A and B are shown apart, each in its own frame.
Chain A
């Protein structure tokens, strides 16, 4: 008589456990890497302060993608008002938080008056 029966769930649960372990390992790796990256971030922040930078150099295709925080309303439409999007990274480069009062806006109170 064989005392041991092969169980499929052994393998399945084993794989799931492996996956969970891998995920935990990833979390541990992230936690441990924090120290090393602090130094790198500090060095980068120091350069930002020394040079007076305001943006990441992530999308160097166009002006409004290279310095999205500085971008004015005009540059995106510089060639043709209907040519909405030239550059691929324009689809995910963020817009600045505001275009400032000197943009196309007006004060509704003024208009009412």
Chain B
């Protein structure tokens, strides 16, 4: 074993000396390789953490949401539907939800106004509980600054801020304005008895599908969204099969393929002679191959470690700052959130093999024949 280690170290010494001859080129190669790994690993860590966050917090969503669809479009729903639903066995509670969007022309931001389900959370008349993003974009300097909203030129509605929601919950509440029902209906000029949708609480989660079937029979034109479907929607968030992530994955695979192809593209005359010399002075085929494998392994493993560690620091210590502009898009409010640090071992292993295996394999392709040949033929 000791001999084996000694031999490997000696071969690695040689390979590093050979790499050092083109120091700048090889360091750039490792740097660019590491950069590609960094981008992919960052995306991976970020999306895994965000999906985890979504699943953990949306466990508290209502078991069933019932929407009224008119011409395929989500329309207001009658409050009487809630009574119909409450009558189904297994339903503990069914009540209308009131929520909607408000476009603030002052700064171009969209707010979500909502009447909370829990009466304990409903603020008093003329009061609002606001998410952490709103004081930021409205530059509300002091804690008790009121919120003014203008629905059209000449209009001004005032809300006293009862509470600012902690930024711990920013990911679900950054743009939220919670107000009482009367304030909501007067703000949006909504008549009594209509709601945005109906939230249904079901005692036994395993009965949800049966209840959906029964409700579907009672309300054929309605759309039913279960909590399970909500969570499934968020499982597709940043999934590798969707949207921009496919482009990213494709680009990364292409980059790794290019690195490997460049490596496999053939032996320069000088490299071939060098292998011939090594064989002539007493290295056999396995020595030459081992030495080349060290070259591939040191470069790709080094790039992998560099990229992955940098990605972890970027996502969890710097809050994925590089992605923020992309995710923000044209939003004015972007939640100031922290993510739970977590590493998905399976994905990381997959990335490792994608990074290292093709590159190391590619180092063997051009040298195999030369390593096997008699040195005499190579040196001539």
Residues of A within 8 A of B (CB): 7-9, 12-13, 15-16, 19-20, 22-23, 26-27, 29-30, 33-34, 37, 40-41, 43-63, 66-70, 72-75, 87-89, 91-104
Contact = CB atoms under 8 A, between A and B. Distances in A.
Given A30-B316, A50-B120, A57-B333, 10 more contacts: A9-B13, A29-B316, A30-B341, A55-B230, A57-B174, A58-B50, A60-B331, A72-B74, A102-B69, A103-B69
B318 interface: no
A73 B178 CA distance: 27
B229 to A, nearest CB: 4
B243 A37 contact: no
| 7 tightest Cβ-Cβ pairs between the two chains A and B | A100-B223, A19-B305, A88-B329, A52-B117, A49-B60, A102-B69, A48-B60
A69 B91 CA distance: 22
Contacts of A8: 12-13, 16-17, 20
Contact of B223 (A66, A88, A103): A103
Nearest to B342: A30
Nearest to B226: A97
A102 B221 contact: yes
Interface stretch (B145-153, B231-239, B255-263): B231-239
B72 A92 contact: no
Contact of A61 (B69, B216, B224, B329): B329
Contacts of A88: 326, 329-330
A53 B114 CA distance: 9
B340 A41 contact: yes
Given A60-B109, A94-B234, A87 B60 contact: no
18 contacts: A8-B13, A9-B12, A33-B340, A49-B61, A49-B118, A50-B116, A50-B121, A51-B121, A51-B176, A54-B58, A54-B230, A59-B327, A60-B174, A69-B234, A74-B73, A87-B330, A97-B229, A101-B220
A19 B307 CA distance: 10
Interface in B1-17: 9, 12-13, 16-17
B199 interface: yes
A104 B60 contact: no
B112 A74 contact: no
Given A8-B16, A45-B60, A52-B97, A72 B169 contact: no
B329 A41 contact: no
B175 interface: yes
Contacts of A104: 72
Contact of B172 (A27, A57, A72, A74): A57
Most buried by A among B117, B232, B331: B331
A53 to B, nearest CB: 6
Nearest to B65: A54
B59 A45 contact: yes
A25 to B, nearest CB: 9
A94 B242 contact: yes
Contacts of A57: 112, 131, 133, 170-176, 333, 335
A43 B244 contact: no
A88 B223 CA distance: 27
A81 B276 CA distance: 67
A42 to B, nearest CB: 9
A92 B326 CA distance: 10
B33 interface: no
Contact of A54 (B13, B62, B224, B342): B62
Contacts of B65: 54, 70
A97 B212 CA distance: 15
User: For A23, A30, A56, which residue has the most chain B Cβ atoms within 10 angstroms?
Assistant: A56
